[in-house]
Amino acid sequence: MACIEAHGLRKSYGKNVALDGVDLRVDDGRIVGLIGPNGAGKTTALNAMLGLTPFQGDLRVLGRNPWSERDLLMLDVCFIADVAVLPRWIRVSNAIDYVAGVHPRFDRAKAERFLSKTSIRAASKVRELSKGMVAQLHLALVMAIDARLLVLDEPTLGLDILYRKQFYDSLLNDYFDRNRTIVVTTHQVEEIQDVLSDIVFIDRGRIVLTATMEEVESRFAELMVSPANLEAARALKPMQERQALGRTILLFDRTDRTRLAALGDVRTPSIADLFVAIVGNRSQGFVQ
Amino acid sequence: MNTSSNAMPDSPAGSHEVAVTASAPTRPFFWSLQRELWENRYIYIAPFAVTAILLLGFVLSATVGIWQRPLHIDATQSPEKLADPFNLAALFIMGVTFIVSLFYSIDCLYGERRDRSILFWKSLPVSDLTTVLSKAAIPTVILPLFSYVLTVAVQCFMLLYSTLVVAASGQSVAMLWSKVHLFQMSSGLLYHIVTGHILWYAPMYAWFILVSAWSRRAPFLWAFLPPIGIGIFEHFTFHTRHFLGLIHYRFSGPESQLKGHEAMGGMFSIDAGAFFSAPGLWIGLVFAALCLAAAVRLRRYREPI
């Protein structure tokens, strides 16, 4: 069954179109990176999936309409909408009591086990914790909930690299299994590309690419070419051309790797480079 | 259809854990109330603080008589005079609870949007209805009953302390007890709180909660300025004061609708039949229900500020 299924999903704020007909399908057990420039509609799309905002079009999350069946949906869906949305006045122990008191699928022992590995004390108030510790606390609360879909919107924004790495390590090692689905947005694409199983590029309210990581590897290739072979390589119609360290790098979509290999070094592009190529090219008329 | 198709995917590994944790009983309403008490500790600290000041003043006055003479009982004293400090204590405790309730209800749904914590609360399976009702319960049920218990406790203490002082100075304890009618006072107070502070003021608190759910800034101004503006507009345009009269009627309590009705025991007495048959009561309660329904709906749409 599809965890998330959207057809013609639309949302506008006045004249400003945030989602312009999004079609998307996310299967169970995937870790999907929703990647887009600022204002592309990432947060709006997530808010629609979480029943935080009404929308037009067809959208089902775990088989439910997130807007009209929100209360039921929240038993199976969990989200971290932003860094530091935990109330500043709450004590760590109170936060655990509260979630245990309202969520039937919360495992208190699991949350406490996770927190015991950190330097967060149960008697502390959230306002006394550093930003990184607040993120750890929030993650501990969320990971102890046996949810089927976890949505993370910029969960590590403003954290230092150690906390960011730890955050995703915990998520992968202590939380993720094949029964769960994770959707994550972030600007630090390079850091999570090994974590993801799928990527979705969104730009100006439209999906411009959806692919599994395997598809990215087989479909896209980056060629480092020497000046002598440049014209031959350009003849193969690269999507994008850029200069790095005095060499030319060309990015190809669905081009035979053996032919490229004859012209220079071939490798799989990073998600960040792919993103720049696809989303950057869209303004120059590149159509997916 | 939903339940059966949902049940399938998590059957192999997830089912055991779900079976264990799903049995955990949840009490969203109780924990929502608890959350309000954690967040807004002033709502009970302020009445306690006033109580402490009151008791200190009473003890000093009754023992050493800072302003007048120490506590003195004689046959000529009227029970009303002796009951004065008791009534005054009730008035102060209810007054501060009223002010606290007002601040609380104007801030309750605004604050969670301002500090963005609404995104956390909404990530948990607690409906907007539960949240709004738990917040509405604080000024309309919890705080009035709390002020009642506190007042009765204070009055008991005052009577006991008076007894000690009277006995120690060799005066008649029996005369004191015959003049101070504690049970009558506290039952009258309960009636006053249920009719006035709970039923009569409910629409006012509901309006504040609605403003709190709606406004993007300065909820205090939105709570008070529009009603005053309408009143002023009416006054200048039609030279009438119906709207201002309506607000005054609501603020000043149910007694004002029954002018000329002989009050039986000072501030907390109004005939129950007259109170419950007053249309103002029922119209107010319908208004309160509409405001709360609108607040529930607004909370669904509202985003952090």
pLDDT tens, position by position, A194-232: 889 999 999 999 999 999 999 999 999 999 988 888 888
Mean pLDDT score, A142-166: 90
Residue B17 pLDDT greater than 70, yes or no:
no
B199 vs A116: CA distance, rounded Å: 48
Tens digit of each residue's pLDDT (9 = 90 or more) over A49-102: 999 999 999 999 999 999 999 999 999 999 998 777 999 999 999 999 999 999
Tens digit of each residue's pLDDT (9 = 90 or more) over B189-237: 998 899 889 999 999 999 999 999 999 999 999 999 999 899 999 989 9
Mean pLDDT score, A239-267: 88
Q: Would you state the pLDDT for residue B176?
A: 85
B65 domain residue, yes or no: yes
B128 vs B133: CA distance, rounded Å: 8
| Number of residues in chain B | 305
Identify the band that residue A282 occupies on the pLDDT scale cut at 50, 70 and 90. low
Residue B75 pLDDT greater than 80, yes or no:
no
Mutation target vs B (from A43, A52, A55; most B CBs, 10 A cutoff): A52
Tens digit of each residue's pLDDT (9 = 90 or more) over B98-146: 999 999 999 999 999 999 999 999 999 999 999 999 999 999 999 999 9
Q: Are A106 and A54 in contact (CB under 8 A)?
A: no
Q: Would you state the pLDDT for residue B253?
A: 67
B2 domain residue, yes or no: no
Shortest alpha-carbon distance between residue B197 and chain A (Å) = 29
Mean pLDDT score, B266-275: 66
Among B209, B45, B205, B46, CA closest to B112: B209
B208 domain residue, yes or no: yes
Residue B248 pLDDT greater than 90, yes or no:
no
Q: Would you state the pLDDT for residue B1?
A: 38
Tell me the chain B residues in contact with residue A97 when contact means C-beta distances shorter than 8 Å: 31, 34
Nearest to B38 among A79, A90, A103 (CB): A90
Tell me the chain B residues in contact with residue A150 when contact means C-beta distances shorter than 8 Å: none
- Residue B102: how many CA atoms within 13 Å on its side-chain side? 13
Q: Would you state the pLDDT for residue B4?
A: 39
Strand, helix or coil for residue A161 = helix
Nearest to B31 among A1, A71, A98 (CB): A98
Residue B265 pLDDT greater than 80, yes or no:
no
Domain span at residue B52?
27-301
Q: Would you state the pLDDT for residue A242?
A: 87
Residue A43 pLDDT greater than 70, yes or no:
yes
Q: Would you state the pLDDT for residue A245?
A: 79
Tell me the chain A residues in contact with residue B17 when contact means C-beta distances shorter than 8 Å: 107, 146
Domain boundaries, chain A: 2-13+21-204, 215-282
Residue B80 pLDDT greater than 80, yes or no:
no
Instruction: Give the DSSP H/E element, type plus range, for residue A35.
Output: strand A31-35
Among A200, A202, A220, CA closest to A210: A200
Q: Are B251 and B243 in contact (CB under 8 A)?
A: no
Identify the band that residue A286 occupies on the pLDDT scale cut at 50, 70 and 90. very low
A184 vs B55: CA distance, rounded Å: 58
Q: Give the chain A residue whose CA is nearest to the CA of B299.
A: A52
Q: Would you state the pLDDT for residue A266?
A: 92
Contacts for B93-98: CB closer than 8 Å, 24+ residues apart? B93/B47, B93/B50, B93/B51, B93/B54, B93/B147, B93/B150, B93/B151, B93/B154, B94/B147, B94/B151, B94/B193, B94/B197, B96/B46, B96/B47, B96/B50, B97/B46, B97/B47, B97/B143, B97/B144, B97/B146, B97/B147, B97/B197, B98/B197, B98/B201
B292 domain residue, yes or no: yes
Number of domains making up chain B: 1
B1 domain residue, yes or no: no
Q: Would you state the pLDDT for residue B135?
A: 97
Residue B69 pLDDT greater than 50, yes or no:
yes
Q: Which residues of B46-57 are buried (b: 16+ CB within 10 A; e: fewer)?
A: ebeebbeebeeb
- Residue B246: how many CA atoms within 13 Å on its side-chain side? 16
Beta bridge partners of A181: A149
Q: Would you state the pLDDT for residue B296?
A: 97
Tell me the chain B residues in contact with residue A87 when contact means C-beta distances shorter than 8 Å: 39, 112, 115, 117, 120
Residue B79 pLDDT greater than 80, yes or no:
no
User: What CATH topology corresponds to A2-13+21-204?
Assistant: Rossmann fold (3.40.50)
B195 vs A72: CA distance, rounded Å: 37
B216 domain residue, yes or no: yes
Q: Would you state the pLDDT for residue B255?
A: 61
Q: Would you state the pLDDT for residue B20?
A: 46
